[in-house]
Structure 1
Amino acid sequence: MKHLNFTLLFCVIASQFGFAQKQIELKEIWNGTFRTKVMQSVNAMANSNQYSRIEQAAKEIQEINLYDFRTLEKTNTIFNTQDFKEIKTIDSYVFDDKEEQILIGTNSQAIYRRSSLADFYLYNTLTKSFVKVAEHAIMEPTFSKDGKKIAYAYQNNLFIYDIASHKSTQITTDGLKNHVINGISDWVYEEEFSIVRMFDWSLNGDKIAYVKFDETEVPEYSMDVYGNGLYPTQDKFKYPKAGENNAIVSLHIYDLNTSKTSQVDLTEFSDFYIPRIKWTNDNNYLSVQVINRHQNDLKLFFVNGGTLEKQLILNETDKAYVDVQTLSFQPNNDFIWLSERDGHNHLYHYNREGKLINQITKGDWEVTDYYGIDAKNKTLFFQSVEQGSIYRDIYSISLNGKNKKRLTSEVGTHSAIFSPSFDVFINTFSSSVKAPRYSLKAAQTGKVIKEILNNSELESKVADYNLPKKEFVQIPTEEGVQLNAWILKPSDFDPTKQYPVFMYQYSGPGSQQVADKWFDSNDYWHAMLTQKGYIVVTVDGRGTGFRGADFKKVTQLQLGKYEVEDQISAAKYLGKQSYVDESRIGIWGWSYGGFMSSNCLLKGNDTFKMAIAVAPVINWRYYDSIYTERYMTTPQENPEGYDDNSPFTHADKLKGKYLLIHGTADDNVHVQNAMAMIETLVQKNKDFDWLIYPDRNHGIYGGNTRLQLYTKMTNFILNNL
């Protein structure tokens, strides 16, 4: 009884006087203090209704384990690094179609954002045999459908490894760095079409289709690499900037039975892209997507692998641009297609001749992911923003467009991995107040069968910091457009006081920063800033995604105009709030966000006191062809669009404090951007700060780099806002 009285008194004191809020330290953001538990490398097993996972069995031991989708019980350990000294870590793994063999990648060496070289080993789960596929690191090894061969790329050429004889056959010979690439995307395809492997096996494994890139006439970018040696070196690679020559692409089919290669006739096109190739479920036909340089006219062809004749199946056009889609074929070669043709991204059902059967989903909302079809019950599963553009939910719907059912209920962000039989799915859920958790759900009802993994320990840990909650609001522009936003206020927020505001955004076409999901590293940093007395705000302006095609594509031909107007308008709106000190509003962003924060400080020099720009595009003429021309056409066609909204054009307007940050090894947004801006500001006799990171790429990380970067930015904010 005495203990109870003491506890009550303790609570009264706590509620009246409070306790010191635990302060976030920068090092905690980067040392794993707030790391979430995740299900690593989950792959659905098509033949056994199981899923596989990489798991850490001990400090230096990894396993690939199989789990039953229904019971979630581990059924087998199929690979253990303890048994194979050649593999220290499993960087990647993939099964053959029979799920009897595994390709395991280790010792990976990153090339660009998505591409890498690695040592690959072939492990047979039945015979326990273990063999290295090649004596050197290779790229993108892929099983043939019958599991008898593996195709891979090495030094810009394609090879076929015969599993029975352990011998490799080279099927292309003209590959040469900075000239010709066979079967692997060039830099700009990898970055902007999100693809590396540009070859594919036919259904019977008797043919390989591949795209050849002739980069000979593409201008070359050279990048100094400082390293630790006495003299720096240079890395040179082909990088087509806006309006410059692209690689010349061609489509080829190699016949394993005849050892001959044939080229598909695409001579009716000029200056075009082949963003996707994929064999259909008919061994005779290869699907090929061809899109013009402006990317507003996409054609889908079926190519006969024997005769090379092609049939136009679908033609998608748009006054702005068409997004490249990944096809999903049914057993009879009908296919599911995603399109924005009605103003929102929706699912469509076509037959194998390209005739539209029906539009499956409809409404003023977007489909954001397609998970597949339960062919037996003719039911599709997808993710959408039907409950609001900042949320994600999982749905099922009949192939005929009827019987749509919401399978998730909690407000936030849901994603799914479905079992091959589509009877259950692993649901990942998080929100701005609930850390990620994984659960098994019934695909018919969405009912939770069993929890798999949660982050309750992390939630308890962050409770000590009394983190601010994101307030999701809409902020009106001066024209009355409602923009999605979130606001983080200090936990001891006092509406009678005035606070400085620090804005964060990205703003690129189709992007989204205002979403109801768990904190990332920037969120923790922003929360730390609230502990230092700042309000942090993010606004998704016009041009961002998931609110329909018109909202997204309004920025066409003039990137940086409406987006900047919206950030300035939002800042002015915030400045009118009684609790905001309108003389102390700052903004920051990375990449496109750095382009935006630079422009906001210059064009809105009466609104923003300071800005930080990390790895920003300063002149769209310096950026790559596919991305830039998708939204701007070429500089030759649209010079005003390029120049009117580039930060260097407005350098003479600088009044506030400006911090410009870039890495010298940024192969994406070249450090040339920063150097051009620095020189322009110098010649305008403007005072500003800049920080260059030697040999760091677009992500600016490695060792203590991130900690030092965010320390620098924090101090800049404290001293200038």
Structure 2
Amino acid sequence: MKKLLLLLLLSSSYAYGQRNLTIDETVFGPGKFAAKSLPAAKWIKNTDAFSSLDSTYQNLVSFDVKNNWKPQQIASLSDLQSAIKTVLPNEKINLRNFPTSYQWEDNKRISFQVAGENNTYGLVYDLATKTAQVKNTLPKEREGEEIGSLNTQSAYLVGNNIEINQADGQKLQVTQDTIDGIVNGTSVIHRNEFGIDKGMWWSADNKKLLYYRKDETMVSNYPLPQWDTRVASIKDIRYPMAGMKSEEVVLKIYDTETKQTITLQTGEPKEQYLTIVTWDPTGEFVFVGVLNRGQDHLKLNKYKASTGEFVQTLFEEKSDSWVEPQHALAFLPNNPKQFIYQTDKDGYNQLYLYDTSGKLIRQLGYKDVLVTNFQGFDEKGSKAYYIGATNNGMERHLFEVELKNGKTTQLTKTNGVHNSSISNSGKYVLDQYSNLNTPNIVQVIATKDGKATPILHATNPFTGKINLPKIEFKSFVSADGKTPLNARITYPTNFDPNKKYPVMVYLYGGSHAQMVTDRWLGGLGYFDMYMAQNGYIVFTLDNRGSDARGRDFTRVTHRNLGEAEMADQLVGIDYLKSQPYVDAANMGIFGWSYGGFMTSSLMTKHNDIFKAAVAGGPVMDWKFYEVMYGERYMDTPEENPEGYEKTSLLNKADKLKGNLLIIHGAQDPVVVQQHSMEFIQKCIEAGKQVDYFLYPTHEHNVSGKDRIHMYDKIAKYFDNYLKK
């Protein structure tokens, strides 16, 4: 009897110790309750060993097979600080943690950056001698940078122009444009579509710098009011709307020895997209994907680096919807005549082996696996590795493919989302993964026999602290009856199936985003968890048009954004309404950006479902959205007037029912505030009441402490209308 009483007391104490998230933790919770992991884990070059930071972030440790994968300290922050002070005695540099951005130069030296008062320094640290060298110097005030492979040549942007710091300390002025709207070397090209994340590339010998030059002088200025002065001012941005004049971009090469610049002859028309830019390993040629403005015809072109002249088109890719190149070419390490090209032209984004004459050597795709992260080659250059989406996009696994015959092996097997990488020899996999009920597991897998050696098994970070609601995956069939759809449902804390609960549907629905995967918590956001803990059923579904399901899953939205997506969302909503524990009279919906567009669409086109809704940064009419994204999916307003009319919400404001809160950032350069203002005006004209809230200093997303304010507002809005 005493034993039973003790157990009851212990269980009561345990339950009392747990609580719901606070509103602050909807923003800061991911850091506070993160599952344990190996921070900054990386394979050490030329070895079968990997490194990571220890739990204190003060030391670098290594794991290798000789020590049965047990951690051994190989560098400390204190030794690193001493080395930095020796080579930079006049700089005040005080690192709080060992640099997480370190990279292995070889098996004994790491490189990293540190920021001083006036400059940023690129250093190489020798672990054996505990000494450092300054390899490059960058001004602290810069817009972007590109460091050569030898760590000695550093290019960077000052304003709209490029400068180079050389190994001998000499500074080269590459460009000197002073006209507003002429921008050199920036990664903000074509509004960062087509996988563009950099604007400069060094040749393999570090002697030539390839860079974008953007002319947007002809693009309309768009005014963003600034409220930080007594009299408000205007900040102009260049914003080409669908169907309007777009930027003109060329690629140039600067030779650091001759100090001469040449332009690649990419030809006419000037309004085209230059993508997947790649240096030939020999430095003789540059490869460029030239995509027409209609985004349905790609040419992979070859140019001579010494003169810029066009050499040949290796191959072309066409589509009746769109072609969307996303990844630069990957040349084989031991064969400069062959490269990997990624495309979804056959249904799924997969690998294709080509030679530099444009001949397809081999398709390297495997079943319906979609490549999400190409990881390179083994040391012999005979095998390639990639992370691929499987199980209808729910999982991510590491795959190995033999280049000579396409034989493919799946190297990770446990269900979940794997963040894995291969050692240089190809003998071992460093595997970190999670799934719905597993916070994080780190292990090393031997590729020869599949034997796994455990490194870390993270415990549930919420246990004894936070009430974790029940989360389930659901599967539905798309509205056309053909395609499986993934969904996630989160139940209120202490869920009772005999009670009825209000619902919050959280959605995005647009391209290049996936909300539901088999990772820890199923991808559940902390605000979703907060709402479930406060009595809501929270539901999310990935409709057709979203990511990681292949070409046909996405292309169904062409010229009619929102239509197939809404039809799929209604499948999930109908399921919810059929459940006895769902209070169908008190359902809400929340989405941001494309999700804001979806939310507003459902509130006007299917206006008898939701009693309350929150649309953040919503697209209200695609003619106000920018060229690159908008025209890919909708074509131009002149080419597709019916589609623009059908998807616009401005002509449907009179159909609005329920309670709609629109939130917008006044400095939004992505979905400009004109979208919501135009819709508000149409609601006024139609006699429809709408709630509106503006964040004066924020852009497309509300971040930092203000995000807490935003989530508090949204939660109270739903409570006000959906809770009896």
Give the alignment's TM-score, normalised by structure 2: 0.88
Which residue pairs with 1:524 in the alignment?
526
Please say if 1:431 is aligned against 2:426. Answer: no
2: CA distance, partners of 1:44 / 1:232: 52
Please say if 1:455 is aligned against 2:452. Answer: no
Query: Residue by residue, what CA displacement relative to the aligned partner does 1:608-640 show, whole Å, maximum 9, x if unpaired?
Result: 222110111111112111111111111221122
2: CA distance, partners of 1:563 / 1:344: 20
1: CA distance, partners of 2:629 / 2:272: 14
Counterpart AA for 1:376: K
What is the number of residues matched between the two proteins? 698
Which residue pairs with 1:405 in the alignment?
409
Query: Residue by residue, what CA displacement relative to the aligned partner does 1:266-315 show, whole Å, maximum 9, x if unpaired?
Result: 22444201123221222212221211112121221222212434222232
Which residue of the other structure, out of 99, 107, 113, is the alignment partner of 1:104? Answer: 113
Which residue of the other structure, out of 332, 346, 364, is the alignment partner of 1:342? Answer: 346
Which runs of no fewer than 5 residues in structure 2 stay unpaired? 86-90
1: CA distance, partners of 2:493 / 2:249: 56
Structure 1, 376-385 or 242-251: larger mean CA deviation: 376-385
2: CA distance, partners of 1:564 / 1:443: 44
Query: Residue by residue, what CA displacement relative to the aligned partner does 1:622-672 show, whole Å, maximum 9, x if unpaired?
Result: 211111111111122112212311222211111111010011122221222
2: CA distance, partners of 1:449 / 1:410: 14
Asked if structure 2 preserves the Cα contact closer than 8 Å seen for 1:67 and 1:76, the reply is no
Which residue pairs with 1:254 in the alignment?
254
Please say if 1:167 is aligned against 2:170. Answer: yes
Asked if structure 2 preserves the Cα contact closer than 8 Å seen for 1:92 and 1:105, the reply is no
Structure 1, 626-635 or 415-424: larger mean CA deviation: 415-424
Counterpart AA for 2:681: E
Query: Residue by residue, what CA displacement relative to the aligned partner does 1:422-442 show, whole Å, maximum 9, x if unpaired?
Result: 333322211222213333333
Please state whether the residue corresponding to 2:242 is helix, strand or coil. coil
Please state whether the residue corresponding to 2:132 is helix, strand or coil. coil
Counterpart AA for 1:423: K
Please state whether the residue corresponding to 2:558 is helix, strand or coil. coil
Q: Structure 1 residues 256, 712: closer, same or farther in 2, change over 3 A?
A: same
Query: Residue by residue, what CA displacement relative to the aligned partner does 1:514-536 show, whole Å, maximum 9, x if unpaired?
Result: 21112499633223322333211
Q: Structure 1 residues 674, 49: closer, same or farther in 2, change over 3 A?
A: farther
Please state whether the residue corresponding to 2:205 is helix, strand or coil. coil
Q: Structure 1 residues 87, 238: closer, same or farther in 2, change over 3 A?
A: farther
Asked if structure 2 preserves the Cα contact closer than 8 Å seen for 1:22 and 1:466, the reply is no
Please say if 1:419 is aligned against 2:418. Answer: no
Please state whether the residue corresponding to 2:122 is helix, strand or coil. strand
Structure 1, 273-282 or 396-405: larger mean CA deviation: 396-405
2: CA distance, partners of 1:157 / 1:298: 29
Q: Structure 1 residues 185, 148: closer, same or farther in 2, change over 3 A?
A: closer
2: CA distance, partners of 1:534 / 1:604: 22
Query: Residue by residue, what CA displacement relative to the aligned partner does 1:13-35 show, whole Å, maximum 9, x if unpaired?
Result: 979x9879732322233334323
Which residue pairs with 1:332 in the alignment?
335
Q: Structure 1 residues 399, 31: closer, same or farther in 2, change over 3 A?
A: same
Please state whether the residue corresponding to 2:575 is helix, strand or coil. helix
Which runs of no fewer than 5 residues in structure 1 stay unpaired? 109-117
2: CA distance, partners of 1:497 / 1:57: 47
Percent of aligned pairs sharing the same letter: 30
2: CA distance, partners of 1:226 / 1:297: 44
Asked if structure 2 preserves the Cα contact closer than 8 Å seen for 1:313 and 1:354, the reply is yes
Cα deviation, residue 67, structure 1: 3.4
2: CA distance, partners of 1:156 / 1:448: 51
Structure 1, 38-47 or 530-539: larger mean CA deviation: 38-47
Which residue of the other structure, out of 58, 67, 74, is the alignment partner of 2:62? Answer: 67
1: CA distance, partners of 2:37 / 2:244: 43
2: CA distance, partners of 1:311 / 1:298: 14
Counterpart AA for 1:224: P
Which residue pairs with 1:319 in the alignment?
320
1: CA distance, partners of 2:515 / 2:116: 34
Cα deviation, residue 360, structure 1: 1.2
Asked if structure 1 preserves the Cα contact closer than 8 Å seen for 2:249 and 2:270, the reply is no
Asked if structure 2 preserves the Cα contact closer than 8 Å seen for 1:184 and 1:196, the reply is no
Query: Residue by residue, what CA displacement relative to the aligned partner does 1:468-517 show, whole Å, maximum 9, x if unpaired?
Result: 12233325537565422111122433333333222111100243112111
Structure 1, 289-298 or 81-90: larger mean CA deviation: 81-90
Superposition pairs for residues 679-718 of structure 1, below 5 Å?
Answer: 679-703=681-705, 705-718=706-719
Which residue of the other structure, out of 382, 387, 397, is the alignment partner of 2:386? Answer: 382
Asked if structure 2 preserves the Cα contact closer than 8 Å seen for 1:332 and 1:352, the reply is no
Counterpart AA for 2:331: F
2: CA distance, partners of 1:692 / 1:521: 28
Counterpart AA for 1:123: L
Counterpart AA for 1:349: L
Asked if structure 2 preserves the Cα contact closer than 8 Å seen for 1:652 and 1:681, the reply is yes
Which residue pairs with 1:112 in the alignment?
none
Cα deviation, residue 204, structure 1: 1.5
Q: Structure 1 residues 423, 140: closer, same or farther in 2, change over 3 A?
A: farther
Which residue of the other structure, out of 153, 157, 161, is the alignment partner of 1:153? Answer: 157
Q: Structure 1 residues 189, 423: closer, same or farther in 2, change over 3 A?
A: farther
Superposition pairs for residues 598-617 of structure 1, below 5 Å?
Answer: 598-617=600-619
Please state whether the residue corresponding to 2:353 is helix, strand or coil. strand
2: CA distance, partners of 1:673 / 1:557: 19
Query: RMSD in angstroms over aligned alpha carbons?
Result: 3.1
Which residue pairs with 1:195 in the alignment?
196
Cα deviation, residue 594, structure 1: 0.6
Superposition pairs for residues 285-684 of structure 1, below 5 Å?
Answer: 285-309=285-309, 310-324=311-325, 325-330=327-332, 331-333=334-336, 334-376=338-380, 378-451=382-455, 453-456=456-459, 458-461=461-464, 464-474=466-476, 477=479, 479=481, 481-519=483-521, 523-684=525-686
2: CA distance, partners of 1:509 / 1:613: 18
Asked if structure 1 preserves the Cα contact closer than 8 Å seen for 2:45 and 2:104, the reply is no
Query: Residue by residue, what CA displacement relative to the aligned partner does 1:218-277 show, whole Å, maximum 9, x if unpaired?
Result: 1112212223x4333332221222122222111212222221111121224442011232
Cα deviation, residue 316, structure 1: 1.9
Which residue pairs with 1:114 in the alignment?
none
Cα deviation, residue 188, structure 1: 4.0
Which residue pairs with 2:88 in the alignment?
none
Please state whether the residue corresponding to 2:322 is helix, strand or coil. coil
Asked if structure 2 preserves the Cα contact closer than 8 Å seen for 1:23 and 1:465, the reply is yes
Please state whether the residue corresponding to 1:26 is helix, strand or coil. coil
2: CA distance, partners of 1:320 / 1:256: 42
Please state whether the residue corresponding to 1:258 is helix, strand or coil. coil
Q: Structure 1 residues 536, 95: closer, same or farther in 2, change over 3 A?
A: closer
Which residue pairs with 1:86 in the alignment?
92
Please state whether the residue corresponding to 2:463 is helix, strand or coil. helix
Cα deviation, residue 542, structure 1: 1.7
